[in-house]
Amino acid sequence: MSETIIKIDIVDEMRDSYMEYAMSVIVGRALPDVRDGLKPVHRRVLYSMHEQGNEYNRPYRKSARVVGDVIGKYHPHGDQAAYDTIVRLAQDFSMRYQLVDGQGNFGSVDGDSPAAMRYTEIRLRRLAHDLMVDLEKDTVDFIPNYDDSLTEPTVLPTRIPNLLTNGSTGIAVGMACNIPPHNLTEVINAFLHYLDHRHTATVEDLMTHLPGPDFPTGGTIMGRRGIYEAYTTGRGIIPVRAKAHTETNKEDREAIIVTELPYMVNKANLIEKIAQLAREKKLEGISDLRDESDRKGMRIFIQVKRGENAEVVLSNLYKHTAMQSSFGIIMLAIVDKQPKILALPQILEFFLQHRIEVVTRRVRYELQQSEDRMHVLEGLMIALEHLDDVIELIRAAVDPATAEAGLMERFGLTKRQTKAILDLRLQRLTGMQQEEIRKEHISVGEAIRDFQDILMNEARVFSIIREETEEIQNRYGDERRTEITDDDGSILV
């Protein structure tokens, strides 16, 4: 069998093909979109659940069913990868604001594996619903899925600054992102300040409203310099400490109690590490160690030997274990299909631009719907003004087509208006029903004028954005979990 062999330069082929692969991973797999803060797999999971009606106010569904729908319709990759995504969206120690409501074993901070997808059940949380509200009102663009059989949104019309509230972590090709989660109340306060001072807001101004990250596992951020650098340049390193205090028992013996850990620190591994260091005599002053965590919260008990200083032991724990860890912030996200390192004001600006586009497109859609309805109502109003003539003409017609043609010719109606008249039920012709049609004609006219005014007035668009954002804050806002101190975390032993 003859073959056609094309000779090419391997250097050129590697450069071109690897670049294509790299951009595919960067844009299509590993990095979040600056507008909704989601990677494609997260967006597809949420959209698929939304399409299935798997909402927060509906019964749970088997995770396996959702995974099958996601990989079969939108995400042609491994089922385990899709399930791992769902699991993380449901973990309260991974997500500052969970987007999936899980029922069953979804793992633990000890590193326990979640149950298989055939056992667990899920549904969307209400917060996720607000990432997709108005999706059906032409607020975002849709593109064909991988086999052109369906369409999927390129971005979600979120009302929540999800890139900041939940953060994102991903390793692409030659680059990575590591955006920490933040407190929703504080993020929205910073966004509303930016909304009012769009061209003058500085990082210092914004940090009065958004002082720093807020991790789901709590902990203490040591110093503000790394936060400021990250918000200014898009990169920074922040030391995060476990929260611990000392207790003294009746026998006057001290113990260190750890109640919160740095983000993404495995509790079981930490306890094993402390035990190993104590056995190897690299950590002095520890006589007992046990995990007393229960449903009420985390509690790691570290007994201090008699005569030892608990503060010195604690300092050694910070120095030699993951009880103090560094979180390297890299605020990298996709902007116009290109990866970009972003400062805090830029992230807020891109989110604001997204909200302006979503609100404007929604108002245009509602205006079009109202104008279409007004067109029909104007035809009905003409029919009501000449009711007897209309009834007589319809009765005299031999078939619907004749009646339609007669109405169009006699009253100058369009085909849509004529169809609406012919579809009227007799009960709609009572005096009360006629009055309802007249009232609707007035209200739709007022709505059209209101929509047109919004589109011509940027201040009204901003007012709508503010109102909807404040509503999100009132519904989901909560207290900060991570403390921020001015101490830089330097360990002196």
To the nearest 10°, the Cα dihedral for 127, 484, 208, 167? -30
Q: In the predicted model, is pLDDT for residue 402 greater than 70?
A: yes
**Which of helix, strand or coil describes residue 244?**
strand
pLDDT at position 153 is 97
% pLDDT > 90, the chain: 77
Comparing 332-341, 408-417, 432-441, which segment has the lowest mean pLDDT? 432-441
Crossing angle (nearest 10°) for helices 344-385 and 225-233: 60
Retrieve residue 66's tokens: 């959702």
- Rounded CA-CA distance 241/321 in Å is 10
Q: Which residue would you say has higher pLDDT here, 19 or 462?
A: 462
* Mean pLDDT (whole number) for 442-449: 96
Residue 297 DSSP label:
B
Positions of CATH 1.10.268.10 in the chain: 366-476
Positions of CATH 3.30.1360.40 in the chain: 243-322
* Residue whose structure tokens are 């006699």: 410
To the nearest 10°, the Cα dihedral for 120, 126, 130, 134? 90
pLDDT at position 72 is 96
Instruction: Tell me the pairing of strands 220-222 and 483-485.
Output: parallel
> pLDDT of 278-295, one tens digit each?
999 899 999 999 999 998
Mean pLDDT of all residues in the chain? Answer: 92
Retrieve residue 392's tokens: 């007589």
Architecture in CATH for domain 243-322: 2-Layer Sandwich (3.30)
Comparing 286-290, 329-333, 383-387, which segment has the lowest mean pLDDT? 383-387
Residues 6+ apart with CB under 8 A from 373: 444
Q: How confident is the model at residue 428 (pLDDT cuts 50, 70, 90)?
A: low
pLDDT at position 102 is 96
> For 366-476, which CATH class?
mainly alpha
Q: In the predicted model, is pLDDT for residue 1 greater than 60?
A: no
> pLDDT of 150-182, one tens digit each?
999 999 999 999 999 999 998 877 788 999 999
Q: Which residue would you say has higher pLDDT here, 225 or 425?
A: 225
Q: How confident is the model at residue 6 (pLDDT cuts 50, 70, 90)?
A: confident
- Rounded CA-CA distance 131/128 in Å is 5
pLDDT at position 16 is 78
Look at residues 315, 296, 314, 216 and name the one whose alpha carbon lies nearest to residue 264: 216
* Residue whose structure tokens are 């319709």: 73
Bridge partner list, 340: 333
Residue 9 identity: D
pLDDT at position 490 is 62
**42 touches 95 (CB < 8 A):** no
pTM of the complete model beyond 0.75: yes
Q: DSSP letter string over 392-440?
A: HHHHH-SSHHHHHHHHHHHH---HHHHHHHHT--GGGGSHHHHHHHHHH
pLDDT at position 491 is 56
**Which of helix, strand or coil describes residue 294?**
strand
pLDDT at position 429 is 66
**193 touches 348 (CB < 8 A):** no
> pLDDT of 17-34, one tens digit each?
767 776 667 766 689 999
Sign, Cα dihedral of 217, 339, 45, 82? negative
Q: In the predicted model, is pLDDT for residue 453 greater than 90?
A: yes
* Mean pLDDT (whole number) for 376-400: 88
pLDDT at position 426 is 66
pLDDT at position 447 is 96
* Mean pLDDT (whole number) for 357-367: 98
Beta strands in 46-109 (DSSP E): 61-62, 100-103
Q: In the predicted model, is pLDDT for residue 3 greater than 80?
A: no
* Mean pLDDT (whole number) for 26-49: 91
- Rounded CA-CA distance 173/31 in Å is 10
Tell me the catalytic residues: 119
> pLDDT of 63-102, one tens digit each?
999 999 999 999 999 999 999 999 999 999 999 999 999 9
**64 touches 39 (CB < 8 A):** no
**Which of helix, strand or coil describes residue 159?**
coil
Q: Which residue would you say has higher pLDDT here, 399 or 117?
A: 117
